[in-house]
């Protein structure tokens, strides 16, 4: 009996010791602090995107009780806009914010996680990412680059762009130099146009000086702030090229791994909050800015001719078919994307779209 009592006492002491070590570890984790750097593709203090990121990092610091502080560097403050992906990937900074289609030079499959021409709107994209398997594929793709991605912003359906010439037919797109990233640019090439990828900070000057003939950016809110209505007359819709463009927060995988679980959760929650809040902001601000543009005599708001939209749809299908044929990673993601889209479109048709068709001003 005494022997069993001694052994039991030893076991209890060992368990108590383990429990104390675990408690000590939790206490240490709860007081450990981190100071991170974040780079973005947006101009300094840019409304919507840049200010949204600033709001997100403030929320992270507050929710963490100051244990995670993040210093944000806008485009060109630390690195050029188009170097965000590489800078975070190699661990020179801890986080980044931008749009995945900017990184198609790394792997073409990234484009599915921003926007696909004639693809899904913001509600459908969020459904696929969060509950349709999209986020798992997103993280699988980015793991090869030492990154952990999070959906972190969406402007909603965009405008088709600003043009210095009228668009009556697809023939008017031939020879056009247009700032249009992602797969939308590949579609423009089918029309004989030249797609140009430019960060936001370079668009106004390029359009003003004739480096480009046209540009798509976002919508009335951001486009007016950029002054695009001052250097181009014709403002076309709909934004066939970006129906629900998701922005991303990317975190260096090694930096992510050393964060305590509660700080990881805070980043994930803050990114999801930005994803929703940005959509709400653009809905409100675009409506206000559109009203201003409609009163501006310098601007003509035009709808793309139906035959132009139809031909763009045909070319989009060709571009996608060729992409998935040559890229197994893109094929895997597109299979998930298109399967989900087929179901979502049917629901949208008898819910959102059906309601909008019944509504008047």
Could you read off the pLDDT of 28-52 as tens digits, one per residue? 556 899 999 999 999 999 999 999 9
In a domain, 10, yes or no: no
In a domain, 202, yes or no: no
User: How much is the average pLDDT of 9-38?
Assistant: 63
In a domain, 317, yes or no: no
75 pLDDT higher than 80: yes
User: How much is the average pLDDT of 133-149?
Assistant: 98
Residue 347 pLDDT: 97
In a domain, 200, yes or no: no
Min mean pLDDT across 12-26, 80-94, 157-171 is at 12-26
User: How much is the average pLDDT of 88-95?
Assistant: 98
90 pLDDT higher than 90: yes
* pLDDT confidence bin for 104, thresholds 50/70/90: very high
Residue 95 pLDDT: 98
In a domain, 120, yes or no: yes
Could you read off the pLDDT of 276-316 as tens digits, one per residue? 999 999 999 999 999 999 999 999 999 999 999 999 999 99
In a domain, 264, yes or no: yes
In a domain, 88, yes or no: yes
Report the Cα 87 to chain-centroid distance in Å: 17
Q: Contact at 8 Å (CB) between 302 and 236?
A: yes
Q: Which residues contact 118 (CB under 8 A, 6 or more apart)?
A: 240, 243, 312, 313, 316
Residue 360 pLDDT: 82
Does pTM surpass 0.75?
yes
Residue 20 pLDDT: 52
The boundaries of the domain holding residue 97 are 32-156+244-283
User: How much is the average pLDDT of 65-90?
Assistant: 98
| CA dihedral (293, 299, 301, 304) positive or negative | negative
Q: Which residues contact 87 (CB under 8 A, 6 or more apart)?
A: 39, 78, 79, 93, 96
- Give the span between the Cα atoms of 241 and 32, in whole angstroms: 45
Looking at the structure of the chain, the number of domains it has is 1
3 pLDDT higher than 50: no
1 pLDDT higher than 50: no
* pLDDT confidence bin for 5, thresholds 50/70/90: low
- Kindly report the three-state secondary structure assignment for every residue of the chain: CHHHHHHHHHHHHHHHHHHHHHHHHHHHHHHCCEEEEEEECCCCCCCCHHHHHHHHHHHHHHHCCCCEEEEEECCCCCCCHHHHHHHHHCCCCCEEEECHHHHCCCCHHHHHHCCCCCCCCHHHHHHHHHHCCHHHHHHHHHHCCCEEEEEEEECCCCCCEEECCCCCCHHHHCCCEEECCHHHHHHHHHCCCEEECCCHHHHHHHHHCCCCCEECCCCHHHHHHHCHHHCCCEEEECCCCCCCCEEEEEEEHHHHHCCCHHHHHHHHHHHHHHHHHHHHHHHHHHHHHHHHHHCCCCCEEEECCHHHHHHHHHHHHHHHHHHHHHCHHHHHHHHHHHHHHHHHHHHHHHCHHHHHHHCCC
CA distances from 144 to 91, 160, 253 (A): 14, 33, 10
- Average pLDDT of the chain to the nearest whole number: 93
The domain spanning residue 67 has which CATH number?
3.40.190.170
23 pLDDT higher than 60: no
Q: How many CA atoms within 13 Å lie on the side-chain side of 308?
A: 22
Residue 16 pLDDT: 54
Q: Among 57, 36, 47, which residue's Cα sits nearest to residue 273?
A: 57
In a domain, 104, yes or no: yes
Helix axes 261-294, 49-63, angle to 10 degrees: 150
Could you read off the pLDDT of 176-219 as tens digits, one per residue? 999 999 999 999 999 999 999 999 999 999 999 999 999 999 99
């Amino acid at each position: 009996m005494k022997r069993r009592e001694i052994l039991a006492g030893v076991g209890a002491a060992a368990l108590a010791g383990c429990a104390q070590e675990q408690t000590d570890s939790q206490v240490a984790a709860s007081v450990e602090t981190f100071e991170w750097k974040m780079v973005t593709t947006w101009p300094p203090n840019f409304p919507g995107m840049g200010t949204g990121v600033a709001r997100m990092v403030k929320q992270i610091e507050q929710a963490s009780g100051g244990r995670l502080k993040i210093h944000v560097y806008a485009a060109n403050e630390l690195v050029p806009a188009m170097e965000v992906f590489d800078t975070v990937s190699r661990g020179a900074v801890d986080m980044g914010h931008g749009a995945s289609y900017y990184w198609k030079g790394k792997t073409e499959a990234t484009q599915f996680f921003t926007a696909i021409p004639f693809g899904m709107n913001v509600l459908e994209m969020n459904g696929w990412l969060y509950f349709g398997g999209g986020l798992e594929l997103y993280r699988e793709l980015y793991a090869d680059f030492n990154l952990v991605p999070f959906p972190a912003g969406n402007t909603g359906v965009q405008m088709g762009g600003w043009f210095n010439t009228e668009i009556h037919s697809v023939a008017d797109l031939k020879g056009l130099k247009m700032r249009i990233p992602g797969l939308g640019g590949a579609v423009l090439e089918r029309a004989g146009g030249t797609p140009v990828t430019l960060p936001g900070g370079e668009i106004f000057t390029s359009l003003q000086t004739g480096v480009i003939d046209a540009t798509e950016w976002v919508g009335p809110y951001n486009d007016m702030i950029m002054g695009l209505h001052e250097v181009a007359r014709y403002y076309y819709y709909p934004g066939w090229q970006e129906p629900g463009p998701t922005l991303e927060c990317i975190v260096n995988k090694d930096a992510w791994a050393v964060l305590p679980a509660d700080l990881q959760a805070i980043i994930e929650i803050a990114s999801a909050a930005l994803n929703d809040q940005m959509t709400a902001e653009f809905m409100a601000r675009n409506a206000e800015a559109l009203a201003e543009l409609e009163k501006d005599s310098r601007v003509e708001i035009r709808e793309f001719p139906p035959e132009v939209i139809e031909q763009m749809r045909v070319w989009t299908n060709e571009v996608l078919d060729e992409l998935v044929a040559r890229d197994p990673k893109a094929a895997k993601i597109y299979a998930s994307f298109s399967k989900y889209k087929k179901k979502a479109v049917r629901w949208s048709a008898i819910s959102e779209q059906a309601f909008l068709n019944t509504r008047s001003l």
